[in-house]
């Protein structure tokens, strides 16, 4: 069954603006990850935040995690046209052989 639910499903912004994407999940997690997928390509890992962390930064990316609300957000600051892609959140479970479960994805369009 699907674990992560991202919103919005589609987001269109102007270059230079910030983009905020949200993800909600249902069960206990070990970590939450964000991936990017450019059209026709594979997924690229962006950032991983563990269940005992609340915020993490990587370059123009900022991820927050609220385990009490079972939600996460990905903020991309000063967006660029090259950030146009689909973004997925994925949750890693707590079991020894847990799997990565992906949400439906958010399509981000950054207008030049």
Instruction: By CB under 8 A, name the binding residues for other proteins.
Output: 2, 30-31, 33, 35, 37, 41-45, 48, 86, 88, 90, 92-93, 96-102, 104-105
Nearer to other proteins, 15 or 48 (CB): 48
Question: Nearest 5 degrees, angle CA 9-CA 26-CA 39?
Answer: 30
Nearest to 80 by CA among 13, 4, 2, 29: 13
CB of 40 to other proteins, least distance (A): 8
Nearer to other proteins, 5 or 15 (CB): 5
Cβ(57)–Cβ(64) under 8 Å? no
Q: Sign of the C-alpha dihedral, residues 4, 68, 7, 46?
A: negative
Nearer to other proteins, 25 or 105 (CB): 105
CB of 51 to other proteins, least distance (A): 10
């Amino acid at each position: 069954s699907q674990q992560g639910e991202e919103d919005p499903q589609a987001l269109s912004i102007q270059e230079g603006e910030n983009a905020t994407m949200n993800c909600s999940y249902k069960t206990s997690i070990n970590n939450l990850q964000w991936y990017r997928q450019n059209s026709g390509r594979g997924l690229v890992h962006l950032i991983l935040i563990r269940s005992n962390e609340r915020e993490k930064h990587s370059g123009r990316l900022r991820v927050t995690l609220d385990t009490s609300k079972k939600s996460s957000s990905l903020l991309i600051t000063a967006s660029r046209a090259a950030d146009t892609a689909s973004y997925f959140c994925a949750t890693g479970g707590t079991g020894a052989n847990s799997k990565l479960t992906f949400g439906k994805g958010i399509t981000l369009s950054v207008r030049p």
